[in-house]
């Protein structure tokens, strides 16, 4: 299969490239990038008119929950990867809080085999820090590494035991695996269902204070300094935590961070209707925190945008606000919500593309994130003006727990190409 993508604005931050060029894909690789490429003499040729669109390296979502094995009523690897492709992602990193937990090579291999059988968007498993996410003994880090994990994380559960996290970071440093930290002091957050503040008080809901996050970010920065290991802070949501990461970077510590669209799009005001789709961990925060997250994205403190796609079945989310599980889906809205930051003038398109490509590829050590000639042809095409209406009926994800249902968003991924194969298109 040969594909010629014509007339698009090619943005490849890894090469410092931002120009109108044609992209020729042959045999699964980027074969040429040039102006006015002639039609290659091929029998199976698809010519794509990308005028008005951005042609970028394949987008990577480094924080996804795919739920298989164990919670297939919420999502499967097949439905999750289909949702990822529809959201513009050519690769996703899948968190370990499955059942069984991805704390052994057997589960890692299972996930990789399922993904290979499904095809399409690539799956990179993340291994647990601790056995069963219980925070007591280390998971089988070495054998999971040999099986193909790309990072370590107990995401969904904070690792409260600093000594255990230190050991995981030492193994991580030895093996070249970042440790992705879900920063939440459980003793402070326990029982909370939303941000602790004026809105939680008015609603009579137990709160999670902002300090529950920043206390742990501070600890993790200290552990990065102690071990020299790379710690990546997941889903940053508070002003104080953004500031701690900024200061850690100023000191040259190996700390990176991500933010999720709900934390730069919604505030805790969204909880007022008691829509359980707004229940997420870390919780939606007040406007000052949202502004700080945006500032962190703008100045590069936060180098990655990730979905934290957390599917839950309708029956689980139909419970009352105290009982419903934390989490919202995100694979199919993340790129469009990020594009709102471009439309607001907060991020340039190259900045935005960086956060979905070269940055997550570098953090996870993936052989992706560029359109360099000869590299694997993973490509995402964006139409910044596409009108995306978020509707349950058209979402590929098995779960529909999104607070953005009914929203009209300006801009979307319109084509997703993995290894030279078109796996999703709206064009």
* Annotated catalytic residue, options 289, 308, 378, 383: 308
- DSSP one-letter string for 173-188: HHHT-PEEE----HHH
> What whole-number distance in Å separates Cα of residue 181 and Cα of residue 394?
33
Closest approach of ligand DOR to the CB of residue 325, in Å: 6
Cis peptide before 282 (omega within 30 of 0): yes
Closest approach of ligand DOR to the CB of residue 367, in Å: 27
Closer by beta carbon to ligand DOR, 254 or else 403: 403
Closer by beta carbon to ligand DOR, 6 or else 400: 400
**Torsion-angle region of 263 (φ positive above 0: left; ψ -120 to 50: alpha; else: beta):** alpha
Decide if residue 401 touches ligand DOR (CB under 6 A): no
For the segment 337-396, give every residue that binds ligand DOR (CB under 6 A).
Answer: none
Among 76, 97, 121, 397, binds ligand DOR (CB under 6 A): 97
Contacts of 65 (CB under 8 A, 6+ apart): 75, 94, 95, 97, 156, 308, 309, 310, 311, 327
Closer by beta carbon to ligand DOR, 309 or else 355: 309
At 89, which helix (H) or strand (E)? strand 89-94
Q: How many residues of this chain interact with ligand DOR, rule: CB under 6 A? A: 11
Closest approach of ligand DOR to the CB of residue 294, in Å: 20
Question: Which residue stretch of 20-28, 239-247, 325-333, 365-373 sits at the interface with ligand DOR (rule: CB under 6 A)?
Answer: 325-333
Hey, what are 141's tokens?
A: 């880090």
Beta partners for residue 231, in sequence order = 179, 255
Question: In this chain, which residue has its C-beta nearest to ligand DOR?
Answer: 327
Decide if residue 280 touches ligand DOR (CB under 6 A): yes
Dihedral over Cα of 115, 116, 119, 122: its sign: positive
Catalytic site includes residue 299? no
How are beta strands 54-57 and 2-12 bridged, if at all?
A: parallel
**H-state helical runs in 197-284:** 198-203, 211-227, 239-250, 261-265
Hey, what are 129's tokens?
A: 């820090």
Report, in this order, helix, strand and coil percent for the chain, each rounded to 5: 35, 25, 40
Closer by beta carbon to ligand DOR, 65 or else 219: 65
For the segment 177-206, give every residue that binds ligand DOR (CB under 6 A).
Answer: 182
Decide if residue 281 touches ligand DOR (CB under 6 A): yes
- Reduced to 3 states, what is the DSSP secondary structure of residue 306? coil
Closest approach of ligand DOR to the CB of residue 97, in Å: 5
At 343, which helix (H) or strand (E)? helix 334-343
Decide if residue 155 touches ligand DOR (CB under 6 A): yes
Hey, what are 223's tokens?
A: 């552990």
Question: Which residue stretch of 83-91, 245-253, 323-331, 396-404 sits at the interface with ligand DOR (rule: CB under 6 A)?
Answer: 323-331
Question: Which residue stretch of 84-92, 190-198, 243-251, 324-332 sits at the interface with ligand DOR (rule: CB under 6 A)?
Answer: 324-332
> What whole-number distance in Å separates Cα of residue 130 and Cα of residue 146?
17
Hey, what are 267's tokens?
A: 């505030």
Decide if residue 65 touches ligand DOR (CB under 6 A): yes
Closest approach of ligand DOR to the CB of residue 35, in Å: 45
Decide if residue 310 touches ligand DOR (CB under 6 A): yes
Among 58, 254, 327, 384, binds ligand DOR (CB under 6 A): 327
Question: Which residue stretch of 103-111, 210-218, 222-230, 319-327 sits at the interface with ligand DOR (rule: CB under 6 A)?
Answer: 319-327
- Chain-centre distance for alpha carbon 261: 9
Decide if residue 98 touches ligand DOR (CB under 6 A): no
Closer by beta carbon to ligand DOR, 97 or else 370: 97
Closer by beta carbon to ligand DOR, 278 or else 416: 278
Of 273, 279, 267, 269, which Cα lies nearest the Cα of 324? 279
Catalytic residues: 308
| Residues near ligand DOR, by CB under 6 A | 65, 97, 155-156, 182, 280-281, 310, 325-327
């Amino acid at each position: 299969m040969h594909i010629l993508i014509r007339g698009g604005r090619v943005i490849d931050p890894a090469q410092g490239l931002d120009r109108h060029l044609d992209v020729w894909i042959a045999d699964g690789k980027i074969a040429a990038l040039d102006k006015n490429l002639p039609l290659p003499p091929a029998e199976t040729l698809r010519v794509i008119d990308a005028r008005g669109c951005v042609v970028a390296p394949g987008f990577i979502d480094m924080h996804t929950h795919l739920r298989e094995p164990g919670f297939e009523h919420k999502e499967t690897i097949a439905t999750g990867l289909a949702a990822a492709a529809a959201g513009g992602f050519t690769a996703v990193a899948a968190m370990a809080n499955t059942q069984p937990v991805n704390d052994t090579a057997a589960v890692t291999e299972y996930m990789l085999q399922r993904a290979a059988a499904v095809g399409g968007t690539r799956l990179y498993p993340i291994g647990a820090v601790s056995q069963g996410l219980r925070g007591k003994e280390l998971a089988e880090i070495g054998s999971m590494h040999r099986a193909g994990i790309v990072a370590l994380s107990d995401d969904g559960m904070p690792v409260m035991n600093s000594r255990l996290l230190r050991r995981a970071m030492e193994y991580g440093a030895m093996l070249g695996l970042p440790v992705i930290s879900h920063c939440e002091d459980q003793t402070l957050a326990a029982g909370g269902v939303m941000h602790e503040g004026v809105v939680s008080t008015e609603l009579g809901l137990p709160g999670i204070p902002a300090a529950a996050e920043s206390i742990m970010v501070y600890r993790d920065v200290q552990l990065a300094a102690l071990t020299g290991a790379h710690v990546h802070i997941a889903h940053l949501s508070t002003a104080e935590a953004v500031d701690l990461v900024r200061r850690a970077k100023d000191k040259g510590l190996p700390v990176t961070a991500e933010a999720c669209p709900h934390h730069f799009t919604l505030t805790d005001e969204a909880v007022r209707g008691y829509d359980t789709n707004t229940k997420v961990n870390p919780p939606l925060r007040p406007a000052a925190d949202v502004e700080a997250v945006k500032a962190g994205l703008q100045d590069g403190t936060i180098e990655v945008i990730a979905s934290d796609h957390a599917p839950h079945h309708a029956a689980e989310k139909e419970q009352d606000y105290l009982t419903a599980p934390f989490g919202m889906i995100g694979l199919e809205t993340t790129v469009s919500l990020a594009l709102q930051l471009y439309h607001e003038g907060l991020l340039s398109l190259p900045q935005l593309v960086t956060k979905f490509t070269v940055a997550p590829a570098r953090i996870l050590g993936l052989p992706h994130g560029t359109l360099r000639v000869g590299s694997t042809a993973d490509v995402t095409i964006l139409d910044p003006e596409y009108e995306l209406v978020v509707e349950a009926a058209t979402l590929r994800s098995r779960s529909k727990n999104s607070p953005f249902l009914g929203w009209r968003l300006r801009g979307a991924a319109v084509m997703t190409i993995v290894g030279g194969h078109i796996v999703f298109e709206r064009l």
